[in-house]
Amino acid sequence: MGCCNLRLARCNLRLRGVAGAAAAMLFTSVTALAQTFLGPTPYLGKNDSPFVASIDAGTTFLETFEGGALATPGVSASAGSVIGPGGLTDSVDADDGTIDGSGTNGHSFFSGGGSTGITFTFDAGVLGALPTQVGIVWTDGDGTTLFEAFGPSGFPLGQIGPVAIAVPPNSGETAEDRFFGVTNPAGISAIRISNSSGGIEVDHLQYGIFGATPPPPIAVIPVPTISETALLLLVLLAAVAAWRRLAARRNERR
Ligand SMILES: [Ca+2]
Ligand SMILES: [Ca+2]
Ligand SMILES: [Ca+2]
């Protein structure tokens, strides 16, 4: 504190600077830990997901419902069930093999109570931890659409909407389909999606670890083939023989 005795005013300024820097660091830290909402954005296939890299890397689950059930681990739905191909089915467009403006030949997840909505709840015990990134694609319903997310212990993280994205009729059109997502470093315990009128249809539930590094590739140590091993032995034997001849000549000269 000697500097304070000598130059009190300058030292105060310096301390204020340190306090300001600390406050800035704290703010940055808090900001970095905050939740981020993503969407609503158009979605016709997996490549439209902001999480596609981690889906491909295997650190985020993607449930397309094309297997006929909600089968990815560590998640349960409060209402609804999977529906298969049909005139009113509204799967994500690409799931039937062709992006053609229609989702009627795919599978989706439907509930008759759009205003109650569907809550997907995550099980940290099964997953090892709560997911830190979650997304869902709203594909059909009426009225306005609302997406909500909840952190650990169920505290609300916020919401997107209500937004007016529904376009009638309800026969598999995909231009209206929208992705809603959230990231939260402290974890996401549940999401809820609802629309104010009619039933509700969703698809491509996705959840995993935000920013996770994919597992490193397994190092492959090349194993020499039999012919390579034989060649190596021949080279070694030739080298030993040459060394012995050289040693013998040296002995003869002595
Ligand atoms: Ca299609
Ligand atoms: Ca689907
Ligand atoms: Ca649709």
- Cα dihedral 89, 58, 60, 138, rounded to 10, equals -20
Distance 102 CA to ligand 1 centre (A): 4
In the chain, which stretches have pLDDT less than 50? 1-31
Distance 34 CA to ligand 1 centre (A): 36
Q: Which ligand is nearest to the CA of 172?
A: 3
User: Are 152 and 186 contacting, i.e. CB atoms less than 8 angstroms apart?
Assistant: yes
Q: Which ligand is nearest to the CA of 201?
A: 3
Q: How far apart are CA 137 and CA 130, in angstroms?
A: 20
pLDDT in tens, 200-244: 999 999 999 876 655 555 655 555 566 666 676 777 787 777 778
Q: How far apart are CA 14 and CA 103, in angstroms?
A: 63
Cross-strand pairs, 205:
63
Which DSSP helix (H) or strand (E) runs through 4?
A: helix 2-6
Looking up tokens 């340190």 gives 18
Distance 52 CA to ligand 1 centre (A): 19
Vertex 168 angle, CA 167 and 170, to 5°: 115
Class of domain 35-208: mainly beta
HSE at residue 6, side-chain half, CA atoms within 13 A, is: 3
Distance 97 CA to ligand 1 centre (A): 6
**Judging by beta carbons within 10 Å of its beta carbon (0-12, 13-18, 19+), is residue 248 exposed, middle or buried?**
exposed
Whole-model pTM above 0.85?
no
- Coil, strand, or helix at residue 188? coil
pLDDT in tens, 150-174: 999 999 999 999 999 999 998 899 9
Q: Give the domain ranges of the chain.
A: 1-34, 35-208
